[in-house]
Structure formats: C-alpha cells, structure tokens
Amino acid sequence: MMKRPKKIEPVMSRRASSRQPQNRLVLFLKEPRMGRVKRRLAETIGDAAALKFYREIAAATLRLSRDRRWRTTLALTPDRAARKSSLRGIMGRRCETVPQGTGDLGRRMARALMRYRGQPTLIVGTDIPGLEPGHIVRAFRALRGADAVFGPAVDGGFWLVGMRRPQSAARVFSNVRWSSAHALSDVRAKLPRGARVAAVEMMEDVDDGASYRRWRETMRRD
C-alpha cells in the first residue's frame, strides 16, 4: 500500500506572512548623567536623587524590549551616548540603537517616525512609572484603525505617539509648546483635516516635585 504523501506547506504563504509589517517601538532615552536629566525634579529632590530615579524608571521601561510582539529601538541623546559606559547598566537586552539627532523634541520624533515609515511605529519616553507591555499592545491595536494615536499625560503633554503617515510629522511637531499644558493640543491641531485620532490611557510622567510626591504616595499604597 502506498503511503500518503506528507502535506507540504505552500511556500508562497510563508513569504507573504514574512512581508507583514513588524511593529516597532522606539524608546527615547537620555544619557543618565548628573545634572542632565530630570532637571525640574532635581530642583526639589536634588541632582543625585533625580538621577537615581531616572535610572530606575529608564531600566524598567527598557524591559519592554524583551517583548517579542514588537522590535525595539533605543533612540539616544546625545548621539554619542551609545558608546558611553554609563548606559551599560540599564540598557539590558541587546537591541538596535540610533541617535536622536539634532533639533528640538519635535524634529527628533519626526526623524524617528520617518526612519521606520511603512512600519506601525510608536514612540515612548522613559519617564512613565508603571508602564507595562499591555499599554503598548493597546496602542498598536488602536493605531490599526487610526491615523495617529496618543497616550495623553496628566500635565497636558503625551507619553506616547504613533502616526500611520509620518511624512506629515515634521509639520505636525513644529512650533509646539513642549513641556507645557498645551503640547498635546498643539500637535493635534496640526494633524491633517479629517485625520482619525485614537487615544489610550492617560498616565502621569514624573517631571517635578508634585508628580514625584504623588508617585511616592502611590508606591506606599501598593
């Protein structure tokens, strides 16, 4: 009796699946140096404590790079930071590193989104305590049906952003009142007319003494 031949998977189906865009998470990271990070927070708790806090939160955020549902890129500033020994203790799992480049925050974010145009891409900072993979999963899901997705922050800014058509990012992120209560509204006002905008959970970035005290109180309750 002849044996039934084994079923062979069509080669074309495998190739087609490999062409699906890979989710990309870009983490914006500053070199953790005394007096260079969390300067508003340092006015309340001191430079040493602010640096310690930043390193802890950055290390926790970088754990997102372990998740296989997306590929992670670290966008570093200053551009030479990837060669600095001060980053070795918090970078964790090996992943791609790129310089943020010159310009204000808007220009640097636009550059990062354009680098991965054609891929669903999110940008997240490293000052959001409690950030979990589930937050990122929900943001990628929201981006599927929207032109832009934001993670609004309590202070009027945003802790996450993603755009399906990053070609407009340079204009959208220009002349924004960064580090103010108007940052998110300034960006949204410059989106193309009719753009579909999604939002995920509101979170608080710890940038000053008041937000730091709220975070400490939350930690004590937990």
- For 15-43, what is each residue's pLDDT tens digit? 434 455 689 999 999 988 899 999 999 99
Say yes or no to pLDDT of 8 above 80: no
In this prediction, residue 219 carries a pLDDT of 83
pTM (predicted TM-score): 0.85
CATH class held by domain 22-221: alpha beta
Q: What is the pLDDT confidence band of residue 120, given thresholds at 50, 70 and 90?
A: very high
Question: What is the rounded distance in angstroms from the CA atom of residue 85 to the CA atom of residue 89?
Answer: 8
Beta-carbon contacts of 154 under 8 Å, excluding residues fewer than 6 positions away, are 202, 203, 204, 205, 211
**CA angle (133 as vertex; 129, 134 as ends), nearest 5:** 100
In this prediction, residue 107 carries a pLDDT of 95
